[in-house]
């Protein structure tokens, strides 16, 4: 690391000398604002890939989720029906040498948090029943129905992911 020397009017600067640093070259901290709906999937230690349209193609920037702030902020652009956003701190400890002399002003970064892959089964959403906070499906065994508690995840208009409670190949009852 080169020392940043104080600069004043009339001071002679040697060629190649460091005048100042806006961004510390040894590491960066990036704050992400995430919607509350994704927050349950994020944990400290997850790897983060960072991309930018302005980076040279050879630059690969990665970081790690260091902290999830417990305080929410509402997106005030249109507060009606807008989700709360939570701050997630990402530490980037290894800065590629190509970025140390790169113009960072006005740069926009895109973050891709590497979520752990979970085993899942996709079933029709019409098969899911809920009672209170619990979610169930009706499993068919020898033409008899038995109610089984399941842990579900992402859903679209037709299917929902089941993370636990069912096994591949088990038959379920789909309600009309």
pLDDT in tens, 95-146: 887 776 666 666 778 888 988 776 778 999 999 998 888 899 999 988 889 9
At residue 150, the pLDDT reads 92
Q: How many CB atoms lie within 10 A of CB 21?
A: 12
Total residue length of the chain:
176
Range 64-93 average pLDDT = 75
**Beta carbons within 8 Å of 143's beta carbon, 6+ residues apart:** none
At residue 38, the pLDDT reads 79
CB 133 within 8 A of CB 150: no
Distance linking the first and last C-alpha atoms of the chain:
67
C-alpha distance from residue 83 to each of 30, 68, 70 (Å): 21, 17, 15
CA angle 134, 137, 141 (to 5 degrees): 140
At residue 1, the pLDDT reads 42
CB 141 within 8 A of CB 109: no
Whole-model pTM: value is: 0.53
At residue 138, the pLDDT reads 92
Mean pLDDT of the chain: 79
Q: Where are the beta strands (DSSP E) in 9-83?
A: 28-35, 47-51, 61-74
**Percentage of the chain surpassing pLDDT 90?**
20
Selected residue with higher pLDDT from 4 and 47? 47
């Amino acid at each position: 690391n080169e020392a940043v020397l104080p600069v004043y009017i009339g001071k002679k600067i040697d060629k190649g000398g460091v005048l100042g640093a806006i961004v510390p070259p040894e590491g960066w901290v990036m704050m992400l604002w995430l919607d509350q709906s994704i927050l349950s999937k994020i944990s400290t230690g997850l790897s983060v890939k960072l991309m930018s349209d302005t980076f040279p193609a050879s630059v690969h920037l990665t970081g790690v989720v260091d902290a999830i702030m417990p305080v929410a902020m509402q997106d005030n652009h249109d507060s009606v029906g807008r989700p709360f956003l939570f701050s997630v701190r990402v530490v980037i400890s290894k800065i590629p040498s190509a970025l140390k002399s790169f113009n960072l002003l006005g740069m926009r970064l895109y973050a891709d948090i590497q979520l752990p892959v979970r085993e899942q089964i996709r079933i029709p959403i019409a098969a899911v029943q809920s009672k209170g906070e619990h979610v169930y499906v009706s499993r068919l065994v020898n033409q008899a129905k038995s109610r089984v508690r399941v842990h579900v995840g992402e859903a679209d208009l037709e299917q929902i992911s089941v993370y636990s409670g069912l096994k591949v190949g088990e038959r379920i009852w789909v309600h009309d």
